[in-house]
Amino acid sequence: MYLFSSFVIAILILNHFVNRYLMKKWEIQIADLGRKYVNRLHKYGERILYLVNLIVMVIAINDFPHLRIWIFIGMATVAYSFI
């Protein structure tokens, strides 16, 4: 359990610093990041997909340590697609 929680904390910290770095690099203002959802299904569907993705990544990192590099590359491509 300790290992799982440390991975979650590490991922959240890295996520925060990467977001801050990208916002400074491309000079993105907080107001520019406002979400414009088409409808409620889009709004909650995106949140559910994000949470499921986070849970699957944590489980995959714990269960398949030899695939860690591919998991992080996958996370980077997903993050890049949102930019």
What digits encode the pLDDT tens for the residues 23-69? 888 887 766 556 677 788 888 887 888 778 778 777 877 888 787 77
- Residue 26 backbone dihedrals phi, psi, to 5 degrees: -100, 10
CA 58, CA 64: separation in Å to the nearest integer? Answer: 10
CA 15, CA 76: separation in Å to the nearest integer? Answer: 11
Total domains present in the chain: 1
- Residue 56 backbone dihedrals phi, psi, to 5 degrees: -65, -40
Sign (positive/negative) of CA torsion 10, 45, 80, 55? positive
Q: What percent of the chain has pLDDT over 90?
A: 0
Domain range for 49: 2-82
